[in-house]
Chains A and B, each alone.
Chain A
Amino acid sequence: MPSVCFYFQVHQPYRLRRYTFFDMGQNHFYEDNDSNREILRKVAQKCYLPMNQLLMEQIEESKGRFKAAFSLTGTVLDQLEAWAPEVIESFQALAATGCVEFLSETDAHSLAFLYSAEEFRGQVAQHDARIEELFGQKPQVFRNTELIYSNDLAKCAEDMGYKAVLAEGADHILGWRSPNYVYQPASCSKIKLLLKNYRLSDDIAFRFSNKQWPEFPLTAEKFAAWVHEAGMAAGDVLNLFMDYETFGEHHGESTGIFQFMKALPDCVLNHPDFDFRTPSEVADSYAPVASLDIPHYVSWADAARDLSAWVGNDLQNDAIEAAYRLEPRVKALHNADMLRTWRRLQTSDHFYYMCIRSDDAVHKYFNPYGSPYNAYINYMNVLGDFELTLQKMEEEGGKPGWQPAPGSLA
């Protein structure tokens, strides 16, 4: 009995304001909260609220047969709490149905796993505590930022007690194998690996509104037929992983994306052999068919499906290494404001904006800077001021000798 497993990524970064060399040492306001608030309010109206409402109706109408999972980053939770608390409430309502699972990740949507084991575990623990407090469930499945994955990550997640971990079902790691089974990561004995079916996922996430696509327009009936065909051919689970902003934001309401999602659960369930399961249910239901050895990092970004979108050039490496070099100094201060600000500076988006290979339309869409060089300059200025502040506090014995706390006014 094949299952369909939806997981939606919900994330908004704290974009930085234009922070020049001449701001350094003068003020510590790093975030462009006018634009952050505006974007968050817009996405909440266009996507989060209507889509949560839609999913709630689907769960009710299907009497709990429709299920889905979410991963909400700490940065989007912070922003929702500040500027759109009604969205948090609607997620809590979804959580109360018992049909929605919340996943674990690094709170700051960071690349900490690549740079600091201690910081990685700290952020994951922070995030899990927060999810449990907000939604009353302790995450059991881990997904790393941007689905960055390797054997080492799986081992680490297993040690931390998760029952499953998610990754991109990239061709170069799967070879002839199908993403539609549960696997066991090499060198692990308990944790299971769920792989994104990128063809079916991207049909919704990227191609749905593309009029040049031969399959345009995509109907729920057509998509369900593909799902049935793929599931019946071979496989236990079809993992449809995508950004939540796909619905109403990347594809606007006028594209018919909401009607599509409204009709889809019924179309999938029309086939008696199919059901919806959350990632932990999938892990509980299906045994791994094989061990999968993935020594090098994979991610879900770009065609390369590697780390080059974040740490592929010298600008990115210089910036991120400079940020992580501050770790012992930040932690020695035991100052909550400084720790929060430093963590927000780890958000992967900051480094994504510095990607030079930005001929990609997807990169342009998300990039608030005109160029990767501008992104680097701005980030380095902010980090420079953060380090100056740190130094000052160290000299003053850890007591904040300045007002207000660095980061934002919010």
Chain B
Amino acid sequence: MRVLMFGWEFPPHLSGGLGTACYGMTKALASKGVDIRFVLPRLGGAAPDMPRRLQLCSASGVTMRMTPQDYQAILGRLGEAGQGRLVPEAWRNWSGSVMRAFWEKHLHIEPLDSALFPYATGQSYAEVLNAGDFSRRIREEGWAWASMPRGAHDGPMVEDTINLHGGYGPDLMTEVFRYSQAAVQLAGSSDFDLIHAHDWMTYPAGMAVKAATGKPLIVHIHALESDRSGMNMNTEVASIEKAGMEAADVVVAVSHYTKSRVVRLYGIPPEKIRVVHNAVTRSQARSQLSVPQTSDEKRVLFMGRITYQKGPEYFVEAANLVLKHMKNVRFIMAGSGDMLSRMVAQVARLRLGSHFHFTGFLKGENVDRMYAMSDLYVMPSVSEPFGIAPLEAMAYDVPVIISQQSGVSEVVRHALKVNFWDVRDMADKICAVLRYPKLADELVRNCREELKNIRWENSADRLIRIYERCIEKHAGGGC
């Protein structure tokens, strides 16, 4: 089985859990004999431990070629895109204007002047604000870039090289658009059975390749715009998500929690959605850093992006309650994000500073060290489609408290669970874990057993069955 996969991040360059999930998933799929061509905006360094069947390739640097005749021919066939199939010679030569026409026809984007981005950090948020009218920028720069150079209609062959930065900068929407162009070009040079696209940034690429090749499309939801931004949704992003799910043959959600949101908020029929839970890789559980215990002080950890979605303010409120009754506790908030400065201010206002610490964004060994030195991990997310981090904490024998509003709570029995808004319950459970050592021991022991069954291999088995059914149905003309 050959899968053309579209993703936005991959180790070693990570921003959120998306890259971690894609890495674990593709490795397990490859070990089970699935050939994967994984397209990234750009390649940055070698990923660790790459299996043979997994081939990474970069969208950046792809050269677009087409003649005016090709261009006219494709424009003529565009009407069929989305329902019918284009002939291979034609889609090989898709370029800017065709793609733009395709977007306009199939994505129905309603531009909104919003600076909110998935995974936006405080810094990039500021950059976006400085950049001014974002939608205008897309229209003028993105679309303009995409349209055919002047005189192309009667000129010679046109060549254009795609250049992408990757990541989640203020020009994200332009990058998404360019990435989808490159995707079609890359699809022409590879042979594959189906398309698998991870999160909204790659849905346009998946849709375009499906329209061009007629191959079945699976879109994989790791997070929804509504998870990231709550009521302040970016409607451009949400409309791309919706279009991608509608165009897909199968929608894969990382949890039942996410599935129900997709049904409710995006109106996708439930029978089209399959749930495949995330997992944790063995190697992530490998390192047992020994951290010297300096005192009998306990450490409670929040680690993740400090954004609305992750519920950092509930962690601060719970810390405030706990510190009123217990003194030998330190709270640690590791990560960065657009709510960081608000959190610092809140901690100062509550006069918790001597027991509440911010580490900034951690990576590499510091992440391992942070887990290893913690006595408790808390994930108070407001809306967490899955949430791999608690599994990582569990791999370090750290007991976890997780929000009920998360996908991971569907697969973990031996964690304490709270509603994110119930700060008192959260604080009570934090006190219990710190005060009753038998509770922590029992949680850790049972989690160790539980982790043995939360494996990417199991998720890969489910995905392969979904692939097979999808290809079968497609061959039978069902798609």
Show the binding face of A for B, using Cβ within 8 Å. Answer: 20-22, 313-315, 317-318, 356, 370-371, 373-374, 376-377, 380-381
In the bound complex, how far is the Cα of B435 from the Cα of A342, in angstroms?
A: 22
- B325, B414, B429, B436: which contacts A318 (Cβ < 8 A)? B436
For this complex, 9 residue pairs linking A to B, each with C-beta atoms less than 8 Å apart, are A315-B439, A317-B438, A318-B438, A356-B442, A373-B439, A373-B442, A376-B439, A377-B428, A377-B439
Instruction: Enumerate chain B residues within 8 angstroms of A370, measured Cβ to Cβ.
Output: 417
B441 at the binding interface (Cβ < 8 Å) = yes
In the bound complex, how far is the Cα of B321 from the Cα of A380, in angstroms?
A: 19
Instruction: Enumerate chain A residues within 8 angstroms of B468, measured Cβ to Cβ.
Output: none
**With known contacts A315-B439, A356-B446, A376-B439, A21–B432 Cβ distance under 8 A:** yes
User: A-facing mask of B405-439, CB < 8 A → 1, else 0?
Assistant: 00000000110110000001101110110011011
Instruction: Enumerate chain B residues within 8 angstroms of A356, measured Cβ to Cβ.
Output: 414, 442, 446
In the bound complex, how far is the Cα of B429 from the Cα of A313, in angstroms?
A: 19
Other A-B pairs, 18, CB within 8 Å; known A356-B446, A377-B432, A381-B432 = A21-B427, A22-B428, A313-B442, A317-B438, A318-B436, A318-B438, A356-B442, A371-B413, A371-B417, A373-B414, A373-B439, A376-B432, A376-B439, A377-B436, A377-B439, A380-B432, A380-B436, A380-B439
Contact A377 B429 (CB under 8 A): yes
B74 at the binding interface (Cβ < 8 Å) = no
**With known contacts A20-B428, A21-B431, A22-B325, A374–B416 Cβ distance under 8 A:** yes
- A314, A317, A373: which contacts B416 (Cβ < 8 A)? A373
Contact A314 B438 (CB under 8 A): yes
The residue among B427, B435, B438, B446 with the most chain A CB atoms within 10 A of its own CB is B438
In the bound complex, how far is the Cα of B442 from the Cα of A124, in angstroms?
A: 34
Nearest residue (CB) in B for A354 is B442
User: A-facing mask of B139-170, CB < 8 A → 1, else 0?
Assistant: 00000000000000000000000000000000
Give residues 300-346 of B contacting A (CB, 8 Å): 321, 325
Nearest residue (CB) in A for B321 is A22
In the bound complex, how far is the Cα of B277 from the Cα of A37, in angstroms?
A: 42
B187 at the binding interface (Cβ < 8 Å) = no
Contact B428 A381 (CB under 8 A): yes
In the bound complex, how far is the Cα of B417 from the Cα of A318, in angstroms?
A: 21
In the bound complex, how far is the Cα of B442 from the Cα of A381, in angstroms?
A: 17
Contact B442 A22 (CB under 8 A): no
In the bound complex, how far is the Cα of B325 from the Cα of A381, in angstroms?
A: 13
Instruction: Enumerate chain A residues within 8 angstroms of B439, measured Cβ to Cβ.
Output: 315, 373, 376-377, 380
Instruction: Enumerate chain A residues within 8 angstroms of B417, measured Cβ to Cβ.
Output: 370-371
In the bound complex, how far is the Cα of B430 from the Cα of A381, in angstroms?
A: 13
Contact B416 A22 (CB under 8 A): no
Give residues 77-103 of B contacting A (CB, 8 Å): none
In the bound complex, how far is the Cα of B416 from the Cα of A370, in angstroms?
A: 10
B443 at the binding interface (Cβ < 8 Å) = yes
**With known contacts A315-B439, A356-B446, A374-B416, A22–B424 Cβ distance under 8 A:** yes
Instruction: Enumerate chain B residues within 8 angstroms of A314, measured Cβ to Cβ.
Output: 438, 441-442
Instruction: Enumerate chain B residues within 8 angstroms of A381, measured Cβ to Cβ.
Output: 428, 432
Nearest residue (CB) in A for B322 is A21
Instruction: Enumerate chain A residues within 8 angstroms of B414, measured Cβ to Cβ.
Output: 356, 373
Contact A21 B442 (CB under 8 A): no
In the bound complex, how far is the Cα of B438 from the Cα of A96, in angstroms?
A: 50
Within the complex, what minimum Cβ distance (angstroms) separates A108 from chain B? 23
Nearest residue (CB) in A for B438 is A318
Nearest residue (CB) in A for B428 is A20
Nearest residue (CB) in B for A374 is B416
